[in-house]
Amino acid sequence: MIARLLAPLALALGLLAAAGPARAVVDIVEITSPGGVDAWLVEERSIPFVALELRFGGGAALDRPGKRGAVNLMTALLEEGAGDLDAQAFATAREELAASFSFRAYDDAVTVSARFLTEYRDEALALLRSALTEPRFDDDAIERVRGQVLSIIRSDATDPDTVAGARFDALAYPGHPYATALDGTLESVAALGREDLLDAHRDVLVRDRLHVGAVGDIGPGELAELLDALLGDLPEGGAPLPPRIDYALEGGVTVVPFDTPQSVALFGQRGMERDHPDFFAAFILNQILGGAGFEARLMEEVREKRGLTYGIYTFLLPRDHAELMMGQVASDNATVAEAIEVIRAEWRRMAEEGVTAEELAAAKTYLTGAYPLRFDGNDTIAGILAGMQAQGLGADYVVTRNAKVEAVTLEEINRVAGELLDPEGLHFVVVGQPAGLAASN
Distance from chain centroid for Cα 27: 25
Residue 22: pLDDT above 70?
no
Contact 306, 346 (CB under 8 A): no
- Give per-residue pLDDT as tens, 400-438: 888 899 999 999 999 999 999 999 999 999 999 999 998
- pLDDT at position 31: 97
Strands 49-57 and 262-270: unpaired
Give the C-alpha separation, 205 to 134, whole Å.
Answer: 12
User: Is residue 377 very low, low, confident or very high in pLDDT (cuts 50, 70, 90)?
Assistant: confident
Residue 417, H or E segment: helix 410-420
- Give per-residue pLDDT as tens, 93-138: 999 999 999 999 999 999 999 999 999 999 999 999 999 999 999 9
CA atoms within 13 A on the CB side of 247: 21
Residue 386, H or E segment: helix 378-390
Mean local confidence (pLDDT), 200-223? 97
Q: Which of 216, 227, 228, 232 is nearest to 41 (CA)?
A: 216
Residue 8: pLDDT above 70?
no
Contact 288, 363 (CB under 8 A): yes
Q: Which domains does the chain have, with CATH numbers?
A: 2-231 (3.30.830.10), 252-372+392-432 (3.30.830.10)
Residue 65: pLDDT above 60?
yes
Residue 48: pLDDT above 60?
yes
Give the C-alpha separation, 19 to 308, whole Å.
Answer: 34
Q: Write the CA distances from 129 to 74, 82, 103, integer angstroms.
A: 16, 9, 13
Give the C-alpha separation, 46 to 348, whole Å.
Answer: 52
List CB contacts of 24: < 8 A, sequence separation 6 or more: none
Number of neighbours of residue 97 by Cβ within 10 angstroms? 19
